[in-house]
Chains A and B, each alone.
Chain A
Amino acid sequence: EDKVVQSPLSLVVHEGDTVTLNCSYEVTNFRSLLWYKQEKKAPTFLFMLTSSGIEKKSGRLSSILDKKELFSILNITATQTGDSAIYLCAVRGGTSYGKLTFGQGTILTVHP
């Protein structure tokens, strides 16, 4: 059974801080790892990673995958109050039409 574990489960920081969110996984026939941001409603897609060591970057957010050690990190630099959200990590394996298995999520709170 595929498994995704995120840490920490919650994090409180102040604006301007840098945060690192962790995601470790066990999956059969790994195909991709995805990060989502969830504010009040629907999760919105951030990154998809398929290859080890290649950083994906979007503004102040970046993510990297280590397929040997089976983990990914999501970095947010110079945090803002608008970064407050639940960050979800999900992995896709090679079975069952590529369904996604999600971690528990990390609740990030950024104080002014």
Chain B
Amino acid sequence: NAGVTQTPKFQVLKTGQSMTLQCAQDMNHEYMSWYRQDPGMGLRLIHYSVGAGITDQGEVPNGYNVSRSTTEDFPLRLLSAAPSQTSVYFCASRAGGGNSPLHFGNGTRLTVT
């Protein structure tokens, strides 16, 4: 059982480039989310989805887009990368019902120069 799989593990971008961080889960979880982790800031929610076709913004959504065409996949798109988006990105999912723990992927370390 793979759980939550994120690709790539590392990425370096130049300012202005775009890219997509991939996230897939094989647990049939309804809820999926993206967080970024910066030193001293904890994990901050970027976007989340409660099911295929439904997405919403979190705490820090600017500069990022998401879509949810299937239950399994929840890609995060950086439209025009900025140095402020240098961070570690985590995808997480949980079963529906609202009070289940999140399961995290291993993260993508992104550097924007």
Residues of chain A at the chain B interface (Cβ within 8 Å): 4, 6, 9, 31-32, 34, 41-45, 48, 50, 88, 90, 92, 96-105
Given contacts A102-B35, A104-B42, 9 further A-B contacts (CB under 8 A): A31-B98, A31-B99, A32-B99, A34-B101, A41-B107, A42-B107, A43-B90, A96-B56, A105-B42
Interfacial chain A residues near B61, Cβ < 8 Å: none
Q: Mark B1-26, 1 if CB is under 8 A from A, else 0.
A: 00010000000000000000000000
CA distance A42 to B44 in the complex (A): 14
* Complex: A6 Cα to B41 Cα, angstroms: 11
For B3, the closest partner residue in chain A by CB is A42
Which residue on B lies nearest to A44, using beta carbons? B104
State the B residues within 8 Å of A (CB).
Answer: 4, 31, 33, 35, 40-45, 48, 50, 56, 58-59, 90, 98-99, 101-107
Are B50 and A104 in contact, CB atoms less than 8 angstroms apart?
no
| B contact patch SS | strand
From residue A65, how far is it (CB to closest CB) to chain B in Å?
Answer: 14
- Minimum Cβ distance to chain B for residue A9 (Å): 7
How far is A45 from B99 in the complex, measured between Cα atoms in Å?
13
Cβ of B55 to closest chain A Cβ, rounded Å: 11
For the complex, what is the distance from the CA of A90 to the CA of B90, rounded to whole Å? 15
B102's partner among A9, A31, A45, A97 (CB-CB below 8 A) is A45
Q: Which 8 A-B pairs have the closest CB atoms?
A: A98-B98, A42-B104, A102-B43, A45-B101, A102-B42, A41-B106, A104-B42, A97-B50
A99 touches B99 (CB 8 A): no
State the Cβ distance, B97 to closest chain A Cβ, in Å: 9
The answer for the CA separation of A92 and B33 in the assembled complex, in Å, is 14
- Tell whether, in the assembled complex, residue A99 and residue B48 are in contact, meaning their CB atoms are under 8 Å apart: yes
CA distance A90 to B102 in the complex (A): 10
B9 to chain A, nearest CB (A): 9
CB contacts (< 8 Å) of B44 on chain A: these are 102
